[in-house]
Amino acid sequence: MAREAQSNLATTDELHLRRALHLAAAATALASPNPTVGCVIALDGQVLGEGAHLYDLFDHAEIVALKQAASLGHNVRGATAYVTLEPCAHHGRTPPCADALIAAGIARCVIATVDPNPLVRGAGIAILRAAAITIDIADSDSPIAQHARTLNDAFAFSIQYGRPFVTLKAALSADGFLAPPSSTRTPATPHWLTGPASRADVQLLRHNSDAILTGIGTVLADNPGLTDRTNLPRRRPLLRVILDADLRISLDSSLVASAIKDVLVICHPFAPIDREQRLQERGVDVERLNGEACRPGLIQTLETLHNRKINSVLVEAGPNLIANFVLWDLVDKLVLYTAPTSLGPGSLPFAAGIASPLDIATKLTHITRTTFPHNDSHDTRLTGYLHNPWSSIDT
């Protein structure tokens, strides 16, 4: 068993950084398309101010913490700022946080991880050091740094590569199948492989995503809603994306019936105009894209989503669409839930033309495994990366 990396930070530093990470995690779905960031300002063991970045409120986490400290009557001169991501050094929607920390008299800054943006990475640290502020950065393989990075996988990937970070999620039987034969399934009688605890975990994946994507085959077979049912706050609805070349989606489907400008159907250029008009009348966005074999192209789809400021996409799909994402090397993170029951021959495979999900799982890095109770047994979740957004970043 691999040993957990040791931290280079003092216990007090870890305590405050973990609090900052907690603040950042609580702001999940409230910061995108910006990174999720938390900050704690402390002096002599006392927390003077803290906060997280919320996109709609503009202020970055450092500014939120400084303002809270001021509102409580605290003088932060000589204090330490604990930040989950390197303070910014550029003018965006707000002035640089590095300048604000200097002006406030911060003496030391402890950072969980550097900025993944290659255009500005290290600039905030350099400005703080030039102002004689002591800088400490968590070791990149430490649990604190890994947590900070995981929170911003999508931002890190999108800012470096210009497309959304794609997580493929699938629930499998013990013998590696995706679902029973199509002939045995109807939208009125869904088949759940995994237990309630695993399904609740999937809802957290949806909450952590900007968009969820599936194909028309899944929509016609299962009539899913594809909603975020965590009841946790988010600044914009989960964008539900359907790849439907010929606009076959039913106007009575759960997706169309619940659309409030949060359903996007991608079709090819020659799909029926009248179908598009009817969908638009019901609050569904339709976008026409070129593709292969009259199917909307996956690369073009991801480019379209990136232009909509979508940083992260969760794919929940059938064998054909899963296979296309895998074959085009567009899966960045894989999350597989395996149930204790088997489905037997003739069931739907994980991916068309791919013998076993293990063929992909063997290529993963940074693998974690978690179990969830399921009747008298348990489901197993395997998570790993095919493309690590932080692999080129060296602190």
292 catalytic residue (yes or no): no
Report the relative pairing of strands 80-83 and 108-111 from DSSP bridges. Answer: parallel
Tell me the β-bridge partners of 110. 82, 136
According to DSSP H, which parts of 105-152 are helical? 123-130, 143-151
Q: Tell me if residue 177 falls in helix, strand or coil.
A: strand
Return the ∠ at Cα 154 (arms to 42 and 360), rounded to 5°: 130
Q: What gap in Å lies between CA 98 and CA 293, rounded to an integer?
A: 51
Q: Which residues contact 339 (CB under 8 A, 6 or more apart)?
A: 171, 172, 173, 174, 193, 194, 195, 198, 374, 379
Q: What do you get for the CA distance between the two ends of the chain, in Å?
A: 26
Assigned token pair, 188: 């009125």
Return the ∠ at Cα 27 (arms to 25 and 28), rounded to 5°: 70
- Which of 257, 170, 235 shows the shortest CA–CA distance to 205? 170
Find where tokens 């998570």 sit. Answer: 383
Kindly name the residue from 62, 86, 276, 316 that is annotated as catalytic. 62
- The residues assigned a catalytic role are 62
